Amino acid sequence: MRPNRKILGLLFLVTILSLAGVTFSQKQNQKALHREDSPRADLVLLNGKIITLDEHNTQAHAIAVKGNRILFVGNNVQVMDYVEKGKTEMIDLRGKPVIPGFNDAHLHFLSGGLSLMRVNLAGCKTKAEITAKLKQKIKETPEGSWIVGRGWDHTLFNKSQWPDKKFLNQLTSLHPVYLTRIDGHVAWVNSLALLEAKIDKDIPDPEGGEIVRDSMGNPTGILKENAADLVANLIPPPTEADMQKAIQTAIAEAKENGITSIQDNSDLNVLPIYNTLAEQGNLTVRISEWLPFEWIKTPEKIDSLKSAFTERPNLLKLGPFKGYVDGTLGSRTAYLFEPYSDDTSTMGIPQYKQEELGSLITKADKMGFQICFHAIGDKGNYLVLKAFEKALLTNKRKNSRHRIEHAQVLREEDIPLFGKLGVVASMQPTHCTSDKRWAEDRLGKKRCQGAYAWKSLLVNGAHLAFGTDWPVEPLNPLIGLYAAVTRKDPQNPEPGAGWYRRECISLMEALKGYTIGAAYAEFQDSLKGSLEEGKLADMVVLSKDIFTLPPEEILKTQVEATIFDGQVIYVRLKE
């Protein structure tokens, strides 16, 4: 429900204006307030800075909404033609900027919500911090039950060396422990978890995975990529009640961060929960839900889901098929052409060979599906680009808007292929600022020149779509904007130029990545992503005019209000 006018006045510090207060009588020759042929708005925002992000980057001062659509964008005088006294709700923005609602092009909504309910080790910089959080959870958990958590990053607390099962064994031998690394591609487990999964020195590495072992061949407790599934598959799935709570928590987080659309890679068991929330009128974020790429091999699964799924136009739909070609840089599983600079024994772990990947993507493309593939290493990205190229040459299908998720490390000669093939580069700016602490150690300076190459991609005609990858990174696009503009650490902004600053982009370019670019990536750019007449009324009011202030002010900026589907769904409480 839209907050009443009194609440808006108290919390948002806006003025609910009467017609008399906005007649702008200074101009004696202005036109009359009402034109008989003008439709009447339900909501009007004026005296602001409307960043439309239309084709010409038009700016305006006022915007009118009727129902869930934008009725008018223009100046403070013109907008009065759409006001009906006593019925139109009017908000004085007092100069604050309004932007399109953020569209998070890549996140894991269920995992993000669950991470707020489980052991969250994100940001822990010492083993003492990890110990304190785990001890508390162990104290609350019955013996024999699983301790599940996520978010640890060994580069913060263990001198870049992998932790091992011994540390966890000291904390508990009565609970199996499963902790996912911040990137979601490595698990850290204790001996009891290894025992329950029957993982010992004699078990071979699974295809597409690695069981890290000591000098005697014994598992250390670190499981990379598909090897983690050997344990993960034993963990009881979250209950329906847990998932409902997680999704409701995630929706609340999205509101507070101005996110009105998400492109979600979650367990498909969330779909009934999304549908129920939609029926109740409580789904206040538009969702494109991704499907497993492996289903291309079993089309009957696709048919079964589609027959059971109820699409809700402009609110809930099935999105692309998501696959993985490699892992991550942090775990040294991203697939590279040459060995890692800090571990020459490996070039990463590929999940596909070129021929198989090309055949599967060509098949999926012929079926009319959109494909998005996780690729981080330079060779991983090359494999996917060549597979997309094969599909285009074979099927001649245009405007498929296939995507590469992350696209973190690229060879110079491969960057133009994004524009040439029409492949969307779906990237997360904060990965750059999180990884840069150790990226040169992993890659060397030469490969870093093609890392997180936003500017080069744009110059070469690529479409950028930005996301957060929550819960890998914070669910806050404003932090992502800062990262894209500066390539500096948001947690501790350093003086001077940013990391490989030639790949910095402008604030407007970055904002488009989180709005119209993200909408383009899901074939929704005619409906949302910019503030234009006829488009969905999703928008965000910011506390500061970040377009006229130094980049550091972005980090001090907050979402003042979130408007979704023409309704004010969030207003920031004043301190």
Do 354 and 490 reside in the same domain of the chain?
Answer: yes
User: Using a CB cutoff of 8 Å and minimum separation of 24, what contacts does 33-36 make?
Assistant: 33/80, 33/81, 33/83, 34/80, 34/81, 34/83, 35/81
What's the token pair of residue 271?
A: 């779909």
Angle at 353 between CA 350 and CA 354, to 5 degrees: 120
In a domain, 560, yes or no: no
Q: Name the β-bridge partners of 114.
A: none
What's the token pair of residue 237?
A: 């799935």
Do 228 and 298 reside in the same domain of the chain?
Answer: no
In a domain, 564, yes or no: no
Q: For the purposes of burial, counting CB atoms within 10 Å of the CB of 11, is it exposed (0-12), middle (13-18) or buried (19 or more)?
A: middle
DSSP E strands in 385-469: the ranges are 403-406, 424-427, 463-466
Query: Which among 368, 319, 255, 373 has a CA at the least distance from the CA of 524?
Result: 319
* Helical ranges in 422-546 per DSSP H: 429-435, 439-448, 454-459, 477-486, 507-513, 516-521
DSSP string, 548-569: SS-GGGGGG--EEEEEETTEEE
In a domain, 62, yes or no: yes
Place of tokens 């498909």: 268
Collect all residues with Cβ–Cβ distance below 8 Å to 49 and sequence separation of at least 6. Answer: 59, 61, 93, 95, 96, 97, 98, 545, 547
Question: Rounded CA gap, 568 and 535, in Å?
Answer: 17
Answer yes or no: are the C-beta atoms of 11 and 4 closer than 8 Å.
no
Answer yes or no: are the C-beta atoms of 432 and 402 closer than 8 Å.
no
Do 402 and 354 reside in the same domain of the chain?
Answer: yes
In a domain, 552, yes or no: no
Question: Which CATH number characterizes residue 40's domain?
Answer: 2.30.40.10
Question: Rounded CA gap, 123 and 232, in Å?
Answer: 23
Answer yes or no: are the C-beta atoms of 12 and 91 closer than 8 Å.
yes
Query: Which among 263, 267, 202, 201 has a CA at the least distance from the CA of 232?
Result: 267
Question: Which CATH number characterizes residue 220's domain?
Answer: 3.10.310.70
Q: Name the β-bridge partners of 74.
A: 62
Mean pLDDT in consecutive groups of 10 residues from the start of the chain, 575 residues:
42 39 33 63 98 98 99 98 96 98 99 93 93 95 95 86 96 97 95 98 96 97 97 95 97 99 97 97 98 96 93 97 97 98 97 98 98 99 99 97 99 99 99 96 97 99 99 97 97 87 98 99 99 99 97 97 98 80
Q: SS3 for 78-117, per residue?
A: HHHHHCCCCCCEEEECCCCEEEECEEEEEECHHHHHHHCC
Give the end of a domain, one of 528, 545, 562.
528
In a domain, 134, yes or no: yes
Angle between helices 354-366 and 378-395 (to 10 degrees): 40
Question: Rounded CA gap, 467 and 475, in Å?
Answer: 9
Question: Rounded CA gap, 378 and 326, in Å?
Answer: 10
Give the end of a domain, one of 232, 254, 278.
232
Phi, psi dihedral angles at 4 (to 5 degrees): -70, 170
Do 412 and 432 reside in the same domain of the chain?
Answer: yes
Buried b (16+ CB within 10 A) or exposed e, 549-562: eebeebbebebbbb
Length of the chain (residues): 575
Question: Rounded CA gap, 265 and 369, in Å?
Answer: 16
Do 441 and 310 reside in the same domain of the chain?
Answer: yes
What's the pLDDT score for residue 496?
84
Answer yes or no: are the C-beta atoms of 524 and 468 closer than 8 Å.
no
Domain limits for position 455: 240-528
In a domain, 554, yes or no: no
Do 412 and 286 reside in the same domain of the chain?
Answer: yes
3-class secondary structure, 270: helix
Query: Which among 305, 310, 314, 311 has a CA at the least distance from the CA of 285?
Result: 314
In a domain, 314, yes or no: yes
Give the end of a domain, one of 489, 506, 528.
528
Answer yes or no: are the C-beta atoms of 361 and 391 closer than 8 Å.
yes
Question: Rounded CA gap, 262 and 106, in Å?
Answer: 7
H or E, element range at 220 = strand 219-225
CA 305 to chain centre: 24
Do 48 and 157 reside in the same domain of the chain?
Answer: no
Do 393 and 321 reside in the same domain of the chain?
Answer: yes
CA 30 to chain centre: 46
Do 270 and 378 reside in the same domain of the chain?
Answer: yes
Answer yes or no: are the C-beta atoms of 82 and 70 closer than 8 Å.
no
Total domains in the chain come to 3
In a domain, 543, yes or no: no
H or E, element range at 381 = helix 378-395
Query: Which among 518, 566, 504, 511 has a CA at the least distance from the CA of 542?
Result: 511
Do 116 and 137 reside in the same domain of the chain?
Answer: yes
Collect all residues with Cβ–Cβ distance below 8 Å to 483 and sequence separation of at least 6. Answer: 429, 430, 432, 433, 490
Question: Rounded CA gap, 435 and 428, in Å?
Answer: 11
Buried b (16+ CB within 10 A) or exposed e, 66-100: beeebbbbbebbbbbbbbeeeebbbbbbeebbbbb
What's the pLDDT score for residue 297?
95
Do 83 and 169 reside in the same domain of the chain?
Answer: no
What's the pLDDT score for residue 36?
61
Q: For the purposes of burial, counting CB atoms within 10 Å of the CB of 344, is it exposed (0-12), middle (13-18) or buried (19 or more)?
A: exposed
Question: Which CATH number characterizes residue 512's domain?
Answer: 3.20.20.140
Do 279 and 336 reside in the same domain of the chain?
Answer: yes
Collect all residues with Cβ–Cβ distance below 8 Å to 536 and sequence separation of at least 6. Answer: 68, 69, 70, 314, 527, 528, 565
Q: In 10 A of CB 361, how many CB atoms?
A: 28
The single-letter code of the amino acid at 482 is Y
